[in-house]
Amino acid sequence: MDDNRISTAAGLYIHVPFCRSKCAYCDFYSVTDVGRIDGYLEALSLEMELYRGFAPVFDTVYMGGGTPSCLPADRLADVLARLRSAFPVSPGSEITVEVNPGDVDTACLERLREAGFNRVSVGVQSFDDAILTTLGRRHGGREGREAVDAARRAGFDNLSIDLIYGVPGQSPEGWRETMESALAVNPEHLSCYELTLERGTPLHRRVEAGQLTLADEDEAYGFFSATSEFLEGRGYIHYEVSNFARTGALISRHNHKYWDHTPYLGLGPSAHSFRGCRRWWNRRDLPRYISDLRAGRAPVDGQEELSQDQLRMEALYFGFRTKRGFTVPRSGSASGWTCCGKRALPCVACATRD
């Protein structure tokens, strides 16, 4: 790694590539071979050593996947301890772990909280058993409720719940009931995603075969607008297209790094990193990820150098996603921003509805 230093606090993402089974809609890289966990953890420690000089300080850590909760709580605690040993994680950092219902109970979540995780994201997706079956989720609505209740009993005071709308067979009334169920525990944060079909997934194949019907554009927008109206009516801030927080202090600090072009380091197979004008990503292949690191090689699969024009365009696009929008810097070329703005106008027009 190069020795260039940066002055802003960076984010740290760890991809845990294990799932007990693959969900019907998911295209994130994951494997079900839990026999490779030891090899993965060994390689992850080696990768940490390669990037020790990435940034002078980190103020967010996000452990995602895959399904981090496939690993025992003690193993996740050990990973976090190694991260803190390898990288300068500042006091007061936001440290998030994703968990799935059915994997965790109060004791497990208490262990994670004791280890230093202070934010938990529960992948509920729905409290409706029929919708969960369509999505290929392993858990039912009851397990979803038990998981969020367990997070509260474990003492987590920064709880995020993931939900999905626009699922085949989902009605507006059913979606509202799912949101009502989520609000029963008064979560600090909700992520409400429109279902997107990824080519090659089981759900995509069923829709292509005519076995299921996806919500059309108008129906999807109906779900989106109803979600925003409902949650804002309950006091949540709709701060990004898919994200809601009870207060400005409870937005996902880690996710904002992606939207703000703040440096972030991704560790684990398929993880992405960004610094300066360079973005790179790791292999979507766990065996090769392990073998590369055992051989002393960074498991990088590709990279790109972004021009100033490309960085400006990304800043505009990311800004359109957030309530905060974007601000043209006082320094630099105003004409460069003007050109980017003109090029972005067609995208804004497509996103604007009467």
Q: Report how far residue 268's alpha carbon sits from residue 101's, in angstroms, rounded to the nearest whole number.
A: 23
* 22 in any annotated domain: yes
In this structure, the answer to whether residues 339 and 217 fall within a common structural domain is no
In this structure, the answer to whether residues 221 and 341 fall within a common structural domain is no
In this structure, the answer to whether residues 105 and 243 fall within a common structural domain is yes
Which of 202, 236, 259 marks a domain boundary? Answer: 259
Structure tokens given for 82: 């190694």
Is 63 exposed, middle or buried (CB count within 10 Å of its CB: 0-12, 13-18, 19+)? buried
Burial 11-38 (b: 16+ CB within 10 A, else e): bbbbbbbbbeeebbbbebbbbeeeebbe
Distances (CA, A) of 9 to 12, 81, 90, 178: 10, 19, 9, 36
In this structure, the answer to whether residues 21 and 165 fall within a common structural domain is yes
Number of other residues whose CB lies within 10 A of the CB of residue 184? 11
- Tally the C-alpha atoms within 13 A of residue 67's C-alpha that lie toward its C-beta: 26
In this structure, the answer to whether residues 226 and 342 fall within a common structural domain is no
* 248 in any annotated domain: yes
What averages of pLDDT result for each successive group of 10 residues across the chain (354 residues)?
54 97 93 95 98 97 97 98 98 98 97 99 98 96 97 98 97 98 98 94 94 94 98 98 97 94 97 96 98 98 95 87 68 49 48 42
* 296 in any annotated domain: no
In this structure, the answer to whether residues 330 and 183 fall within a common structural domain is no
CA angle 221, 222, 225 (to 5 degrees): 80
In this structure, the answer to whether residues 192 and 136 fall within a common structural domain is yes
Q: Report how far residue 77's alpha carbon sits from residue 304's, in angstroms, rounded to the nearest whole number.
A: 33
* 236 in any annotated domain: yes
Q: Report how far residue 285's alpha carbon sits from residue 268's, in angstroms, rounded to the nearest whole number.
A: 10
* 345 in any annotated domain: yes
Assign 353 to helix, strand or coil: coil
In this prediction, residue 326 carries a pLDDT of: 63
In this structure, the answer to whether residues 81 and 167 fall within a common structural domain is yes
Three-state DSSP string of 173-202: HHHHHHHHHHHCCCCCEEEEEECCCCCCCH
**Contact assessment for residue 31 and residue 286, using Cβ atoms and an 8 Å cutoff:** yes
Q: Which of 83, 39, 35, 31 is nearest to 61 (CA)?
A: 83
In this structure, the answer to whether residues 213 and 324 fall within a common structural domain is no
| Domain count for the chain | 2
In this prediction, residue 336 carries a pLDDT of: 53
Q: Report how far residue 263's alpha carbon sits from residue 27's, in angstroms, rounded to the nearest whole number.
A: 25
In this structure, the answer to whether residues 47 and 155 fall within a common structural domain is yes
Domain harbouring 33, CATH code: 3.20.20.70
Is 203 exposed, middle or buried (CB count within 10 Å of its CB: 0-12, 13-18, 19+)? buried
Number of other residues whose CB lies within 10 A of the CB of residue 86? 18
Which of 201, 228, 259 marks a domain boundary? Answer: 259
In this structure, the answer to whether residues 250 and 313 fall within a common structural domain is no
Give the domain range for residue 326.
Answer: 307-354
Structure tokens given for 175: 């979606």
* 69 in any annotated domain: yes
* 336 in any annotated domain: yes
* 274 in any annotated domain: no
In this prediction, residue 54 carries a pLDDT of: 97
Please name the residues in contact with 156: beta carbons below 8 A apart, sequence gap of 6 or more.
Answer: 109, 113, 118, 119, 120
pTM value?
0.90
Distances (CA, A) of 245 to 148, 237, 241: 16, 5, 12
In this structure, the answer to whether residues 43 and 186 fall within a common structural domain is yes
Which of 230, 259, 288 marks a domain boundary? Answer: 259
In this prediction, residue 327 carries a pLDDT of: 63
